[in-house]
Structure 1
């Protein structure tokens, strides 16, 4: 059985809104390609350029790049970001919009990020638009 995942509104480059199912968060990493791009595949070690929205499962939006009006970039697949991003974004095509449901053991674990309102054990959901590689 496939895990129930949130639905995301909007298309690539637009700030999404997530609607959560009345279900428990998946226990493992879930990766859903909402729209597939036609660019090269993201490889470990690439300097990835993305727009994203992050929200706790059935909770609040804790960060998004759309409101700031600028993408972010970071090395992917080399431990510079949470494991759920490294595992879920390597191998995706540039130009894709990807939904990631990231359990806490691949996110911020038992510590959470109190300053962002992320509690220990929280499942994180991201919509990531893969803009390109630097």
Structure 2
């Protein structure tokens, strides 16, 4: 595969000894091809399915598509060589290749405020090209059809394997779950006492959410974030989440689970995607992704009782007329 023009190849020889084998990409960016498969290079207009990790140079993962089960996909744009566009590195790749791209953090956030949790000198992008659908001379209808067919094939595979994945997770972790009619699986790890949460109450909840492989996506517990090497944002108070039970903005599993628990209950929920983020997914959570929640119902806040209605004020006109 022709990875680059000859002058870039010659330049790489000079850079290899002083830059760890990385080739210059421009504007504070370098790249190194890790896996180099045979095949045509990605061209402008091709559709690319790829997985990625974004880390800092201290190896803290900031974002990842690996483990979602569904890669990211996007058309290959037109890029101008040497302008520091990450997508330029894709033009050196073909299906099955992987690459590491390093970008100076100061350059990435030039003219913008850098997030306070972002440490180190470099952003590191690890990219694996899973599939390339070449545009070539295909008309738009045929081209879009091939893209849709491939995406649907991956989604159908995820959907089909989800029940078996949940069953295996429960067995492997020896969880004695209770399963509701909706498919929610839960096990109480520490029984609470006192009132039971009801629809309309405000639930105060500590939580950690992860996929079946154990990757933690989000947590309200700082110790869990530190243990899993998650970026620590000083603006994050790491305190229990408050939400009113029964609201449409909350995933169905939470609205179903917490009315089953007393205050103080700690539990593990194994949640099918139909009760979580479904076929769309959310942020780092892919479509048809079952989730595991470790939760604690810290408190239950009852709604303020309604004020008693004031008696109607009597007016002279409202008094009954005297009998004659």
Query: What TM-score, normalized by structure 2, do the two folds share?
Result: 0.33
Q: Do 2:252 and 2:276's aligned partners in 1 also have CA atoms closer than 8 Å?
A: yes
**Between Structure 1 and Structure 2, which shows a larger proportion of helix residues?**
2
The Cα of 1:4 is off from its aligned counterpart by 6.0
Distance 2:245 2:290 in 1: 20
Task: Indicate whether 1:97 and 2:253 are aligned.
Answer: no
The answer (yes or no) to whether the contact 1:77–1:90 under 8 Å persists in 2 is no
Quote the residue 2:281 is aligned against.
112
Q: Given the alignment of the two structures, is residue 87 of structure 1 paired with residue 256 of structure 2, yes or no?
A: yes
Moved over 3 A (4+): 3-6
Tell me the secondary structure at the aligned position of residue 51 of structure 1.
strand
**Is the 1:31–1:99 Cα contact (8 Å) retained in structure 2?**
yes
How big is each residue's C-alpha offset from its partner over 1:40-72, in whole Å with a ceiling of 9 and x where there is no partner?
A: 101111110010000011241000000153111
SS of residue in 2 equivalent to 1:90: helix
CA distance in 2, matches of 1:82, 1:47: 15
Partner Cα separation in structure 1 for residue 172 and residue 183 of structure 2 = 16
Q: Which residue of 1 aligns with 2:239?
A: 70
Mark the structure with the bigger radius of gyration: 2
CA contact (8 A) 2:272 2:291 kept: yes
CA pair 120-36 structure 1, distance change in 2 beyond 3 A: same
- Specify whether residues 122 and 133 from structure 1 end up closer, same or farther in structure 2 by C-alpha distance, changes over 3 A only: same
Q: CA offset at residue 89 of structure 1?
A: 1.3
Report the Cα offset of residue 39 of structure 1.
2.1
Q: Per residue, is there more strand in 1 or in 2? A: 1
Query: For the residues of structure 2 that align with 1:129 and 1:22, how far apart are their CA atoms?
Result: 19
| Aligned partners of 2:169 and 2:212 also within 8 Å | no
**Correspondence list, 1:37-48, <5 A:** 37-48=192-203
TM-score, L = length of structure 1: 0.76
Q: Which residue number corresponds to residue 10 of structure 1?
A: none
CA distance in 1, matches of 2:186, 2:173: 19
Indicate if the aligned counterparts of 2:206 and 2:239 stay in contact, CA closer than 8 A: yes
Q: Distance in 2 between matches of 1:38 and 1:22?
A: 26
- Any idea what SS the aligned residue of 1:94 has? coil
Gaps of 5+ in 1: 7-19
What is the CA RMSD across the aligned residues, in angstroms?
Answer: 2.4
- Answer yes or no: is the 8 Å Cα contact 2:183–2:271 preserved in 1: yes
Q: Which residue of 1 aligns with 2:87?
A: none
How many residues end up aligned between the 2 structures?
115
Bigger relative contact order (CA 8 A; separation at least 6): 1
Pairing partner for 1:21 from 165, 168, 172:
172
Q: Secondary structure at the match of 2:172?
A: coil
The alpha carbon displacement at 1:31 in A equals 1.2
